[in-house]
């Protein structure tokens, strides 16, 4: 009896210590699991937001490519989904592995979209420059007195092709460049009198005739709307006006098709 009591006295503290230690370890593990579960849940929510943003970028990319008439760019597969959080230790590790895989996938998708947007930016920037160099405004304020196409010549009375339009106003009225470009020529011509020619690139050239004064020089770069000359009555002219031509790839085009204002 005394031996049994002695064993109890000896083993009880040991068993109690082991129990308390295990209980404390379990409590610590449960708290850690709870924290990890909360962290995984928060990461999962953030990943869903990030994935939705990537999807919106993908849709925006597609729309821009349709507008720009560029070929479509497809990612290497669908984005992975995010499931619910498992609170077991194995489940948390599984969720963490899944989230890590999806994060790698989203990073690759983001890099893909960045390359695609750089390509789109380069394309649209080129278009912006092309639009800036496309004639699109009136060269001078005034009244349209002769249109593009066949007409009766005011001096000979013969049917003749008119390669531009005539806009009348007072002598000295400002004449502006109708698009960005470079002054490629300034000369006196028998028919058009004092004439300025602008080369806009992309196949566009414009001519402004019957001027009274020129404010630019050959080789000078000009911007759309910049005053380049003043309206006059030089050359073969029945009154003060500007003869305005648009040529595309060397062929005369109707300037009225390019005037937006």
Question: What is the reported pLDDT for 48?
Answer: 79
To 10 degrees, the CA torsion angle through 49, 54, 55, 56?
Answer: 90
Question: What is the reported pLDDT for 138?
Answer: 96
- pLDDT tens per residue, range 52-108: 877 777 777 776 676 566 666 554 344 444 444 444 445 555 666 777 777 778 778
Domain ranges of the chain: 2-132, 143-258
Question: What is the reported pLDDT for 155?
Answer: 66
Question: What is the reported pLDDT for 139?
Answer: 97
The total number of residues written for the chain in this structure: 261
Query: Are the C-beta atoms of 245 and 163 separated by less than 8 Å?
Result: yes
Superfamily of domain 143-258: Glucose Permease (Domain IIA) (2.70.70.10)
Query: Are the C-beta atoms of 149 and 161 separated by less than 8 Å?
Result: yes
Q: Which two tokens stand for residue 248?
A: 């595309």
Residues of the chain with pLDDT under 50: 4-5, 7, 12, 75-89
Question: What is the reported pLDDT for 58?
Answer: 78
Q: Alpha helices, DSSP H only, in 77-219?
A: 89-132
The overall pTM is greater than 0.75: no
Question: What is the reported pLDDT for 200?
Answer: 97
List beta partners, residue 146.
166
Question: What is the reported pLDDT for 11?
Answer: 57
Gap between the terminal Cα atoms of the chain? 115
Q: How far apart are CA 1 and CA 7, in angstroms?
A: 10
């Amino acid at each position: 009896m005394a031996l049994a009591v002695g064993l109890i006295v000896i083993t009880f503290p040991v068993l109690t210590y082991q129990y308390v230690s295990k209980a404390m370890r379990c409590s610590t593990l449960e708290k850690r699991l709870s924290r990890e579960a909360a962290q995984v849940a928060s990461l999962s929510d953030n990943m869903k937001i990030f994935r939705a943003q990537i999807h919106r970028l993908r849709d925006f990319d597609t729309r821009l490519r349709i507008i720009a008439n560029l070929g479509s760019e497809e990612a290497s597969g669908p984005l992975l989904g995010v499931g619910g959080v498992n609170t077991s230790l194995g489940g948390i590790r599984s969720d963490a592995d899944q989230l890590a895989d999806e994060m790698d996938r989203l990073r690759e998708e983001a890099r893909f979209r960045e390359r695609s947007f750089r390509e789109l930016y380069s394309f649209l920037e080129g278009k912006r420059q092309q639009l800036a160099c496309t004639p699109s405004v009136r060269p001078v304020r005034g009244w349209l007195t002769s249109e593009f196409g066949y007409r009766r010549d005011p001096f000979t009375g013969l049917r003749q092709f008119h390669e531009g339009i005539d806009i009348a106003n007072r002598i000295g009225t400002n004449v502006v460049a109708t698009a960005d470009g470079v002054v490629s020529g300034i000369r006196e011509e028998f028919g058009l009198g004092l004439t300025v020619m602008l080369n806009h690139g992309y196949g566009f050239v414009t001519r402004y005739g019957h001027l009274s004064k020129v404010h630019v020089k050959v080789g000078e770069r000009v911007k759309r709307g910049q005053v380049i000359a003043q309206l006059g009555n030089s050359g073969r002219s029945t009154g003060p006006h500007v003869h305005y031509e648009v040529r595309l790839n060397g062929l005369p085009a109707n300037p009225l098709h390019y005037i937006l204002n």
